[in-house]
Structure 1
């Protein structure tokens, strides 16, 4: 089982505030956890990262991913997509999680948490050796990133393996 930590108070606000959740009319037999899992699944669907064999479970502020993603890149993007949601502090891969296609032996994901003042160019310089390779990091994080200048402190990014 692999575990990644994320900045709980940073990221896309998907769940709304506690006050909003209490004010909203509750659907019959839908717990707050079920509502949040449904929101996570909808977000993955909107990003085109769903798979029929990928399942999410929410335990407090931890998301557990089980099942098989299409490939290593998709699995890494799934981890980032759910981890970069405000309110999520950790993402775990269940024992049965993996990919449909075999991952290369050295397929350990490389992630970077954005610090205040960092740019994709600075991150590219650090990991890829050249600042002008920032488009590779941008491409590796699509569809979660819509523009290279729209990153924020606390956001976790996928660094492509070189």
Structure 2
């Protein structure tokens, strides 16, 4: 008999079984869009559950990029929303397009590395390790315990009054 060659994806068109590459790609794309929309909705729910005040909040996810729109109550709220979204698994870039109703000075951001503690971070930014509660409070409600931070996490470091 021998070996015969066939067009791999022609069967779906002729017999109505299986799927062409284009059909599989279309279904994969639709599934990805659905998953991104669900993740965005979950982030919006989390932000609302944390009682962060943002009017007309909208989170849109495209691959590893999240875009946030809405009107944040103040600068601290805006920064916390960015951190909630950015510190989520799968998000590498946050495009912050929020406006702020009550303008305040912007905080600095610190990416936690292995061995960091809030005390060490406070010593670096404020010159006093005992100022760690300022950083802890600035990152509530995302932080529940000052001893539970992890490498890669991004924290707000507000200016001292």
Task: Identify the structure with the greater helix proportion.
Answer: 2
Shift of 1:59: 1.5
- Largest Rg, 1 or 2: 2
| 2:152 counterpart of 1:154 | yes
Deviations along 1:70-95, whole A, 9 cap, x unmatched? 1111001001111111111111122x
Counterpart Cα distance in 2 of 1:59 and 1:116: 30
Deviations along 1:10-35, whole A, 9 cap, x unmatched? xxxxxxxxxxxxxxxxxxxx811111
- Say if 2:53 and 2:73, in contact at 8 Å, map to a contact too: no
- Which of 59, 76, 82 lines up with 2:79 in the alignment? 76
4+ residue runs over 6 A deviation: none
Counterpart Cα distance in 2 of 1:148 and 1:53: 31
TM-score (norm 1): 0.75
Structure 1 gaps, min length 5: 1-29
Shift of 1:50: 4.6
Root mean square deviation, CA, Å: 1.4
Task: Identify the structure with the greater strand proportion.
Answer: 2
Counterpart Cα distance in 2 of 1:45 and 1:109: 22
TM-score (norm 2): 0.75
Counterpart Cα distance in 2 of 1:46 and 1:135: 23
Structure 2 gaps, min length 5: 1-32
